[in-house]
Every structure is written in structure tokens, then in C-alpha cells.
Amino acid sequence: MIYIVFWTIATIPLMSPACRDEDMNVGYYSVDIPGYEEADYLNMLSSSNEEMQYNAICELTMSSDYDKVLMTDSLKGTAKYDSALMVYKKIVPFMQSQNSWVSSAAIRFISTFEYNRQEFLDFVLKNNNPYLNVQLEIIMDIIDDTTKNQGFLSQKISFLQQQPSWLLQNGSYLLMGVKDSISTVQLIHAYSDSNEEYKKLLILEVLKQHMTDTVFLFLANEWATTKNERIKKIIFQSFFHYKFSEVNSVGYIF
């Protein structure tokens, strides 16, 4: 008989953090079964119980060398390479699961791979699964990637902005900041039309990443006229970021 013990602190259960990351907005827990190995969790993927599928994906996430193996040409044709490829191929279809926990866990698993990276990015950018945790996982997994299809990225931002979720609407600003180009004029209008401080701060962060003469003049005027000290501070940091970027680009120090 297997006993799974959960220790509690202030009545909050602590479970295996295999699918949880402190740097992610999406945090999941799973049950680490004593004595279970990779083959056992792979068998668990075949279960019709979606919670077991989710659990297996989370536990397999802990085996972090799959991508390293697949990206090593000298291992092609070996049993180790074939095994890693088999695991990858087994998880990929679960990204399209109608169960949001299974889907987001699979997306997070595949997001750790450089293998077939562009296919993954195209898939998640076109993924319009409406579940909150799936879209949050996608945002966090692609935000720092520089190889995104800009057309698909624009569609993803529009999709997020149309969702009823506060998190997804405002999470869209995180993707705007890493987009190659945006309509700064529209953002400036959105800033001026908003009465919410948090939205203004999010927009300022995007404008900082897309500094133009128009944006610079707008920020200078806003810094001179606003009475909001937090906004003043963010704008000042934007000026410093802009000047520092110029220094790096021309190679001199002022």
C-alpha cells in the first residue's frame, strides 16, 4: 500500500512543486508517487482520468534533459535520443486537450524545448483556448522569446484584449512590450483615456520599450504635469533606460 503524506501549514496543503515555478503566474502542484519512474508516468498518460494525465505531465517535467538530448546531433539514432523523442511526441498532443490543467501543463512542458521551437511558438500564438490558466501559461512561456512570428503575436494581443478576464486583458501589455513595433499613438490615447493608475503604469512600461520622439515628448509633458509620484518615478526611469540604450548603441559614456 502506498501512503502519500501531505504536511500542512495554516491548513494549506503542500504538494510536489513539479509543475510550479516561482517566476510563473501559473502555479500547479502534482503528486510525486514513491517508487515511480519515467516509464510509470508515461503509462499514466494513457489513463482516461485527466487528473492522472496532468499529474504525469507535471512529474515528467522534472526530467529536464529531454531537450538537451534532442538538441545533441551526436545522439541521433541512439536509444537515449529515441526515448527523449518518444516522450516529446507523447506530450505534444496534450497541448490541445480540452482540460485546461492538462493543456497548460503540456504547454509548459513543451515550452522548455528548443527542439521544434518555432512550431511551438506558432501553435501557442494561434491557440485561442479561452481558459485563463492556459493563456497565462502561454504569456509567461513566450514573453522572453525573440523568434516570435509578429503577425501571430499581434493576433494574440488582440485576442487577449478581447477577453473578459482582467488578467488576460492586462497581461496583453506584457507582450506589447516585446513586440517589434506597436502603435504608440494608440497607446498614448489609451493612457490619456484611462483613470486607472495600474493601466497607466502598464502602458508606460510598454512605451519605454518603444521610445520615439513622439513618446519622449509625451512622457516629458506627463512628467512635468502629473502629481502622481509613482508615475513620475516610472517616467524618470524610462528616460534613464532610453539614454542608456543610446549610450550602448553608439559606444560612449556621458
Q: What is the pLDDT of residue 27?
A: 64
Domain annotation covers residue 247: no
Domain annotation covers residue 199: no
Q: What is the pLDDT of residue 157?
A: 95
Q: What is the pLDDT of residue 241?
A: 63
Domain annotation covers residue 52: yes
Q: What is the pTM of this model?
A: 0.80
Q: What is the pLDDT of residue 195?
A: 95
Domain annotation covers residue 162: no
Structural domain including 80 reads 15-151
Domain annotation covers residue 19: yes
Q: What is the pLDDT of residue 123?
A: 96
Q: What is the pLDDT of residue 43?
A: 96
Count the domains in the chain.
1
Domain annotation covers residue 75: yes
Per-residue pLDDT tens listing for the chain (254 residues): 444 433 333 333 333 445 554 444 356 789 999 999 999 999 999 999 999 999 999 999 887 699 999 999 999 999 999 999 999 999 999 999 999 999 999 999 999 999 999 999 999 999 999 999 999 999 999 888 877 889 999 999 999 999 999 999 999 999 998 888 889 999 999 999 999 999 999 999 999 989 999 999 999 999 999 999 999 999 998 887 665 454 344 343 33
DSSP conformation letters of the chain:
-------EETTEE--B-TT--TTSS----B---TT--HHHHHHHTT-S-HHHHHHHHHHHHT-TTHHHHHT-GGGTTSHHHHHHHHHHHHHGGGGG-SSHHHHHHHHHHHHT--TTHHHHHHHHHH-----HHHHHHHHHHHTT-S---HHHHHHHHHHHHTSS-HHHHHHHHHHHTTSS---HHHHHHHHHH---HHHHHHHHHHHHHT--HHHHHHHHHHHHH---HHHHHHHHHHHHHHHHHHHHHHT---
Domain annotation covers residue 219: no
